Amino acid sequence: MRILFLGDVVGRSGRNALASCLPTLRREWALDFVVVNGENASGGMGLTRAHAADLLAAGVDCLTLGDHAFDHREMIAHVQEEPRILRPLNFAKAAPGRGARMFEVGGKRVFVAQVLGQVFMKRPFDDPFSAIDAALRTAPLGVSADAVIVDVHAEATSEKMALGHWCDGRATLVVGTHTHVPTADTRILPGGTAYQSDAGMCGDYDSVIGMEKGEPMHRFVTGMSKGRMSPAMGEATLCGILVETGAGGRAAHVQPVRVGGCLAPAGPAALA
């Protein structure tokens, strides 16, 4: 299988880029399954029902969320109505929706799960290691799942790496989200799990992690807020990771993806 994972979609720029590019990428790259982190798609924080529908209509098979999962209150109900949207497994015991799900596509079964990190995160989320361990036990790779994708929405690269090794051999792909900058450590771990510490964002990189530069720069310089931060509106770069499965659902090939915008392009030959 060919699976594409795209990092955090940030605001209108990211949504527009995904809507215009993803149908072509699905066709040219012969993609079987697409996972996108959508937790910053609406105004830079959270996801609305309407924007979720737009992303799914563009060809996304599964949307993951994150620490801003319920910034828009309508998502509290919608995440229970739309099974293609996942919130983190360890968000809160009373949180609506689900943190993992088995998808069926073309006779194949793809298990997707998401956890939140604890290090440097503002809220006291539950232990991500025990949460993902329990989830992976329900969907053993190569037995009940043809592919397993784990989105680690976390701040610290050390915690992401530890979770990658924790899942090694039990997942096809473990990829980090949340920090909006693509890392250069794309590789296949010893047990056959593809890994990258952060997929990057789908947004305008002429910004401060997707936001217009003025307000975050003011906050850094003065230590004070001048107003609300808003998503940058320039041309977005779609950033993520492409993985191909091999024997037993483990990763046979993995490479970073960067399409459009101001970052150097990366991806299959079709990208050229």
148-159 per-position pLDDT tens digit: 999 999 999 999
Question: Residue 63: is its pLDDT beyond 90?
Answer: yes
Encoding tokens for residue 252? Answer: 């046979």
CATH superfamily entry for domain 2-271: Metallo-dependent phosphatases (3.60.21.10)
The H or E element containing residue 188 is: strand 187-188
Residue 253 annotated in active site: no
Confidence of residue 231 (pLDDT cuts 50, 70, 90): very high
What span, in angstroms and rounded, lies between the C-alpha atoms of 65 and 162?
21
Predicted confidence (pLDDT) at residue 272 exceeds the cutoff of 90: no
Coil, helix or strand for 237?
A: strand
Using one digit for the tens of pLDDT, what is the confidence trace for 41-61? 999 999 999 999 999 999 999
Q: d(Cα 197, Cα 184) in Å, to the nearest integer?
A: 8
Q: What pLDDT, on the 0 to 100 scale, is given for residue 45?
A: 94
Residue 94's pLDDT is: 87
Looking only at the bridges linking them, the beta strands covering 187-188 and 194-196 are antiparallel
**Cβ pair 252, 18 in contact under 8 A:** no
Residue 98 has pLDDT above 50, yes or no: yes
Average pLDDT over residues 229-254: 97
Taking residues 91-115, what's their average pLDDT?
95
Give the per-residue pLDDT at 97.
96
Confidence of residue 163 (pLDDT cuts 50, 70, 90): very high
Of 51, 68, 72, 178, the active-site residue reads: 68
The closest alpha carbon to 6, from 19, 18, 20, 24, belongs to 18
Cα end-to-end span (Å), the chain: 22
